[in-house]
Structure 1
């Protein structure tokens, strides 16, 4: 039988505690991620970008995290997204012991690492109340395998870490979910980037309504036409520029005001699909 790990086997140094406490103090003024792209020495693409919607710099540690961030941000019910969110190390150490799991650590020094959750998202429901959901992103092939049509979990050590996170958030009444690139595709991220170009665009409610009616009518009459052809048609009918019409479409997509199918890349030289 395996013995329960004693907490003293993993220690925490002063520098780790100081960094974590400073991060907690900083949160009293505004959010900042515990980890940034500068802190992570790993192979792969990282993204340090300014988000015009959250109006702050965002640090995403892989292409998959980038796409997941964009997918979550596209939801109408999202209030805020907090990435690279630190977990209290005293609590995660206790959870690891209770689960008979090894806490993330430097295997040479046995110094514990502060665990982070990739995204902690605050949503607002229809009644106006807010709730949070915690998400971890991992590439599908890093945690699953498919054998004879059956999907199995692999990398037990990784799932141990997920279990520690899940218990941490459960104690706070927060749902915890593991996402992969199958939950946030390249096309969805591409489309949101395209829509986001119109973030500062201004239009009246009446103009948006007029455009929505005109675009749906044009699409219904010729659903296989290229998107740019619909823009040209509406520009000719309204006397507005092609760019203005495109900005209206992007704004509508950004704010979920048109039932646009975003499963495929939206391109000017391709048809667009509406979910009517």
Structure 2
């Protein structure tokens, strides 16, 4: 895919864009919500997507198709966040030509040079949020590396997205790797593993994690590592069980820690826990 054309669904010239669009629509792509949503582009559609990832969702149990490392990091954050109830990746702006004024835009860059048919513009993520009062709203997020933002063609594509979502009355913003640090993704992966199917240990993790939570806060002056080790001994559990349950408590948000920094188990319970997660992606 040419540099700067990420977020544009392109096809080979021998296969007309309109034919591909009709094929995708027939397959249900870009349609549905929740577990029934089918992304417009899948990792199998292109051979040059680099670090593309297919991942089974936990909050929404379907396969997600993520086209880059930074999109994967964004997905982990969206899935973890309590207010996000649905994630739709590679969402197609199929009615963009009818929705926005393109007279002053270089839309010729987004047309098949052989057929003159427009490529499909996509937004990386369309999210459904639900607040504490149960009110739902949609927000759109485009994920870009800061290096991409130096290219004129990237800004032109972003302007198309901005106008589109503005006309739809839906908040749209760009997220960069500065808001999605690698350490955050690593920490989210670390705790997420405890929620995956097939990772259930041979014990009642809900019951035992409740006991561990009590032990942690009754001994909040001690290093976390010490409390976890003692918990394994007291409960007669295999070594490392306490650590698994600690990760599980974080994943369930029964324990809050700062996920934007290295998790240091030598810190006391009091110093490590009770940190609220930043909401900067939404602000």
**TM-score range relative to shorter protein:** 0.7 to 0.9
State the 1:233 CA deviation. Answer: 2.2
- TM normalised by structure 1 equals 0.78
Find the aligned partners of 1:237 and 1:175 in 2 and give their Cα distance: 51
Find the aligned partners of 1:72 and 1:55 in 2 and give their Cα distance: 14
Q: What secondary structure, in the 3-state scheme, does the structure 2 residue paired with 1:128 have? A: coil
Aligned-pair RMSD on alpha carbons?
2.7
Give the conservation status (yes or no) of the 8 Å contact 1:72–1:78: yes
- Aligned partner (choices 223, 234, 252) of residue 255 of structure 1: 252
Give the conservation status (yes or no) of the 8 Å contact 2:30–2:92: no
Give the conservation status (yes or no) of the 8 Å contact 2:87–2:125: yes
Are 1:156 and 2:160 counterparts? Answer: no
State the 1:156 CA deviation. Answer: 2.5
**1:22 corresponds to which residue?**
26
CA 1:28–1:264 in structure 2 vs 1: closer, same or farther (change >3 Å)?
Answer: closer
How many residue pairs match? The answer is: 248
Give the conservation status (yes or no) of the 8 Å contact 1:231–1:242: no
**1:215 corresponds to which residue?**
216
**2:278 corresponds to which residue?**
none
- TM normalised by structure 2 equals 0.76
State the 1:20 CA deviation. Answer: 4.7
Which ranges of structure 2 fall in alignment gaps of 5 or more residues? 1-15, 276-283
Find the aligned partners of 2:135 and 2:56 in 1 and give their Cα distance: 28
- The more displaced of 117-126 and 42-51 is 42-51
Find the aligned partners of 2:168 and 2:145 in 1 and give their Cα distance: 26
Which ranges of structure 1 fall in alignment gaps of 5 or more residues? 1-11, 144-153
CA displacement 1:222-270 (0-9 Å, x = unmatched):
3xx4x544320222344444443223212211122212111124476x6
- Aligned partner (choices 180, 184, 187) of residue 184 of structure 1: 180
